[in-house]
């Protein structure tokens, strides 16, 4: 967990050593770790889930191990730093590390670079805790994860295990396990998380069928709402004819308004073949995964003789949001409406 800290962090362990001779003395022995919490450790999300943090980098942390004791001839015989189930022995260059005497007033220092392993749970939890704080304050997850941020003074749990001896005549060894924390700064990287687009109330109707001199088309209207405003969405129409042949339209593009709503109108050409023209259409998303229910139509195209439009309006037309009478032609957001130019009369 993170904590507030001013200046250098001192981790202090107090143990007791006993030197045996003509009399037994209770002598204090101290160990402490100094680090200033300035080391930055990158913390990241995975490519599969950008909504939370799950990884941290391996880094080398500079530490000062400091010892002191009231025994003039005291020595550190062995020393280990423990992180999780990993043990990191500290090798002193001159063998045993001497502990200062002078009744414990002076510190002996040994500098090390500690290999903090990857995927540290304390650092990952600190970044995810900051996400929870942002959500509680009313920020969206998308905004929280859009930029890098830091969590200072993260407590990374670490263990110490060492053996110390006091005196030269008697080999009196004291073994001490202890637990404490290192101060580390979590560098929580932006994840690029995008809130999934949710489609609500997808509406789609075949508004009317139109023939002109043997040319046939169906006029289509649609509308939907999403959870994002000013969102660009691309889709196309899928047409299945009476012979189960599938045909896709060009791709259309619309943009939701400041409430996440958009409506649109387009025309789709229908081949003029023998007999009655029947089929069904639906909307299929291109930029996002969504689709509308299929809507059927039935029409009889004229022979290619007249330039007069004939309209066949469905008996029941579902009212779309924003319509006055249920058959109002909505604005064409892409310029894709109107009668196609490549239609032919009945052959």
Domain boundary among 155, 188, 221: 188
Residue 6: CB atoms within 10 A of its CB come to 6
Q: What is the pLDDT of residues 100-129, one digit of tens each?
A: 555 556 777 888 888 888 999 999 999 999
Whether 173 and 298 map to the same domain: the answer is no
The pLDDT value recorded for residue 177 is 63
Judge whether 337 lies within some domain: no
Return d(Cα 325, Cα 317) in angstroms, integer: 9
Name the 3-class secondary structure at 94. coil
Place of tokens 């889709």: 235
- 37 to each of 33, 57, 152, 290, how far by Cα in Å? 12, 16, 8, 49
* Mean pLDDT computed over 261-284: 90
Question: Of the segments 104-113, 266-275, 321-330, which one has the largest average pLDDT value?
Answer: 266-275
pLDDT attached to residue 152: 92
Which of 328, 321, 313 shows the shortest CA–CA distance to 202? 321
Asked whether residue 205 falls in the same domain as residue 171, the answer is no
Q: Is the pLDDT of residue 321 over 60?
A: no
Last residue of a domain, one of 135, 162, 188: 188
Measured distance CA(23)–CA(14) in Å, rounded = 22
- Expressed as residue numbers, the domain containing 163 is 9-188
- Flag whether 334 is in a domain: no
> Is the pLDDT assigned to residue 12 strictly greater than 70?
no
Q: What is the DSSP string of 253-308?
A: EEE--TTSEEEEEEEEEE---SS-EEEEEEEEESSSS-BPPPEEEEE-PPBTT---
Q: What are phi and psi of 129, to 5 degrees?
A: -65, -35
| Burial (0-12, 13-18, 19+ Cβ within 10 Å), 200 | exposed
The backbone torsions φ and ψ at residue 11, rounded to the nearest 5 degrees and listed phi first, read -100, 120
Q: How far apart are the first and last CA of the chain?
A: 79
Instruction: Based on the fold, state whether residues 239 and 305 are members of the same structural domain.
Output: yes
Q: Flag whether pLDDT at 85 surpasses 60.
A: yes
- Between these two residues, 16 and 274, which has the higher pLDDT value? 274
Find the range with the poorest average confidence among 50-59, 123-132, 163-172, 249-258.
Answer: 163-172
The DSSP code sequence of 13-68 is EEEEEEE-SSS-EEEEEEEEEEE-S--EEEEE--SS-TTS--EE--EEEEEEEEEE
For residues 308 and 238, the answer to whether their CB atoms sit within 8 Å is: no
In a domain? residue 328: no
Same domain for 264 and 125? no
In a domain, 336, yes or no: no
308 has pLDDT over 70: no
pLDDT at 329: 34
**Stronger pLDDT, 98 or 156, i.e. the higher one:** 156
pLDDT of 31 above 70? yes
Residue 194 resides in a domain: no
56 and 145 both lie in a single domain: yes
Percent with pLDDT over 90 in the chain: 38
Dihedral-angle region of residue 138 (phi above 0 means left; psi in -120 to 50 means alpha; beta otherwise) = left
| Average pLDDT, integer, range 262-290 | 90
Note the pLDDT of residue 93: 54
- Residues 71 and 181 both lie in one domain: yes
Residue 131: band (very low, low, confident or very high) from pLDDT cuts 50, 70, 90: very high
Structure tokens at 105: 């007033």
Nearest residue to 343 (alpha-carbon basis) of 311, 314, 312, 307 = 307
Number of structural domains the chain divides into? 2
| CATH number of the domain bearing residue 210 | 2.60.40
Q: Could you tell me if residue 171 is inside a domain?
A: yes
| Number of C-beta neighbours around residue 305 at 10 A | 10
- Does the pLDDT of residue 290 top 90, yes or no? yes
**Quick one: pLDDT band at residue 327, thresholds 50, 70, 90?**
very low
Whole-model pTM: value is 0.59
Instruction: Name the region of 243 (left: φ>0; alpha: ψ -120 to 50; beta: rest).
Output: alpha
* Residue 101 vs residues 28, 61, 165: alpha-carbon distances, Å: 10, 29, 13
CA distance 97 to 113: 17
What local confidence, expressed as pLDDT, does residue 67 receive? 76
pLDDT over 70 (residue 292): yes
The winner for highest mean pLDDT among 16-20, 83-87, 122-126, 169-173 is 122-126
At residue 100, the pLDDT reads 56
- What the block records as the tokens of 230 is 């000013």
Question: Do residue 137 and residue 41 come from a single domain?
Answer: yes
CA distance 266 to 122: 55
Q: Is 264 in contact with 255 (CB distance < 8 Å)?
A: no
pLDDT tens per residue across span 58-76? 999 888 887 776 665 667 7
Is 60 exceeded by the pLDDT of residue 7? no
**Distances from the Cα of 155 to the Cα of 28, 170, 235, angstroms:** 27, 39, 50
pLDDT tens sequence across 174-232: 556 667 678 899 999 999 998 888 998 899 999 888 877 667 889 999 999 998 889 99
Q: Average pLDDT over the chain, rounded to whole?
A: 75
Residues for the chain: how many in total? 347
| 206 in a structural domain | yes
> Considering the domain boundaries, does residue 321 fall inside one?
no
43 with 168, same domain: the answer is: yes
């Amino acid at each position: 967990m993170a904590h507030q800290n001013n200046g250098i962090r001192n981790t202090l362990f107090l143990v007791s050593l006993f030197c045996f001779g003509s009399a037994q003395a209770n002598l204090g022995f101290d160990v402490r770790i100094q680090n200033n919490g300035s080391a930055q450790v990158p913390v990241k999300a995975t490519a599969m889930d950008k909504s939370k943090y799950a990884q941290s980098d391996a880094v080398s942390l500079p530490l000062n191990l400091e010892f002191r004791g009231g025994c003039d001839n005291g020595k550190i015989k062995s020393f280990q730093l423990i992180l999780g189930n990993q043990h990191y022995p500290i090798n002193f260059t001159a063998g045993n590390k001497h502990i200062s005497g002078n009744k414990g007033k002076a510190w002996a220092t040994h500098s090390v670079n500690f290999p903090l392993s990857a995927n540290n749970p304390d650092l990952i939890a600190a970044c995810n805790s900051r996400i929870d704080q942002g959500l509680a304050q009313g920020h969206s997850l998308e905004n929280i994860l859009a930029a890098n941020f830091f969590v200072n003074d993260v407590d990374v749990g670490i263990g110490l295990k060492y053996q110390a001896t006091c005196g030269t005549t008697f080999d009196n060894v004291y073994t001490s396990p202890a637990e404490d924390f290192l101060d580390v700064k979590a560098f929580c990287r932006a994840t690029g998380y995008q809130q999934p687009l949710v489609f609500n109330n997808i509406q789609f109707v075949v508004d009317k069928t139109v023939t002109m001199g043997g040319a046939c088309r169906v006029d289509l209207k649609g509308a939907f709402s999403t959870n994002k405003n000013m969102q660009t969405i691309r889709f196309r129409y899928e047409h299945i004819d009476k012979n189960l042949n599938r045909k896709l339209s060009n791709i259309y593009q619309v943009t939701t308004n400041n409430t996440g709503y958009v409506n649109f109108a387009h025309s789709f050409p229908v081949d003029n073949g023998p007999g009655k023209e029947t089929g069904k259409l639906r909307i299929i998303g291109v930029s996002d995964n969504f689709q509308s229910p299929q809507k059927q139509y039935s029409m009889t195209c004229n022979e290619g003789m007249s330039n007069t439009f004939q309209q066949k309006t469905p008996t029941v037309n579902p009212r779309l949001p924003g319509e006055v009478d249920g058959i109002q032609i909505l604005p064409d957001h892409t310029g894709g409406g109107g009668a196609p130019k490549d239609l032919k009369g009945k052959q």
